[in-house]
Amino acid sequence: VVVVVVVVVVVVVVVVVVVVKVMVVVVVIVVSAVEKAYFYTSKQGRDDAFVVVDVGQAYKKLKEWRQHLPRVRPFYATKCNPDVQFCNFLAQAGVGFDCASMGEIKHILGLGVHPSRIIYANPCKVLKHLRYAQEHNVDLMTFDDVHELVKIQKWFPRARLVLRIQSDKEHKAAHNLNEKFGCDPAAAYGLMKKAKSMGLNVVGVCFHVGGLAKDAKCYSTTIKTANDIYTYGEQLGFDMRILDIGGGFHGVDSETLTFRYVAETINKALDEYFPPSRGTEIMAEPGRYFAASAFTVAVNVISKKVLRPPQQDNKNKSYEEIENDNSSVIDTKYNNTPAVKRSKTNEDEISNLKREDNTISKVMYYLNDGAFGAFSNVLTDFYEPKPLCVEPPSSTETFPTQVWGPTCDHFDCVIRKCEMPQVDIGQWLYFEVMGAYSTCLATDFNAMERAKFTYVCDESSWNEVYGECGNSELHHYTDGLWEWFSYSPMKKQQGMLIRNGLNPDLEGV
Ligand code: PLP
Q: What is the mean pLDDT of each run of 10 residues along the chain (509 residues)?
A: 91 93 87 61 65 89 98 98 92 96 97 96 98 98 98 98 93 85 96 98 97 90 98 98 97 94 98 97 98 93 90 73 61 35 42 55 96 96 90 89 97 96 91 95 94 79 69 34 37 36 32
CB 308 within 8 A of CB 361: yes
CA 258 to chain centre: 20
- Other CB atoms within 10 Å distance of the CB of residue 106: 13
Burial class of residue 444, CB neighbours in 10 A (0-12, 13-18, 19+): exposed
Instruction: Return the best residue to mutate from 285, 288, 293 for the ligand 1 pocket (most ligand atoms within 8 A of CB).
Output: 285
Residues in contact with ligand 1 (CB, 6 Å cut-off): 77, 80, 98, 121, 208, 211, 246-249, 285-289
- Other CB atoms within 10 Å distance of the CB of residue 232: 16
**Separation of CA 388 and ligand 1 centre (Å):** 29
pLDDT at 173 (0 to 100): 80
3 state DSSP class of 127: helix
Instruction: Return the best residue to mutate from 80, 283, 290 for the ligand 1 pocket (most ligand atoms within 8 A of CB).
Output: 80
3 state DSSP class of 243: strand
pLDDT at 437 (0 to 100): 97
pLDDT at 29 (0 to 100): 80
Contacts for 418 with CB less than 8 Å, ≥ 6 apart: 386, 387, 400, 401, 402, 403
**Separation of CA 438 and ligand 1 centre (Å):** 14
Amino acid letter, 108: I
**Separation of CA 104 and ligand 1 centre (Å):** 14
CA distance 270 to 265: 9
Specify whether 408 is catalytic: yes
pLDDT at 351 (0 to 100): 47
Instruction: Return the best residue to mutate from 61, 86, 98 for the ligand 1 pocket (most ligand atoms within 8 A of CB).
Output: 98
**Separation of CA 291 and ligand 1 centre (Å):** 12
Q: In the chain, what is the greatest distance between 2 CA atoms, to the nearest angstrom?
A: 129
DSSP string, 255-275: SS--HHHHHHHHHHHHHHHS-
DSSP 183: B
- Other CB atoms within 10 Å distance of the CB of residue 405: 27
pLDDT at 37 (0 to 100): 59
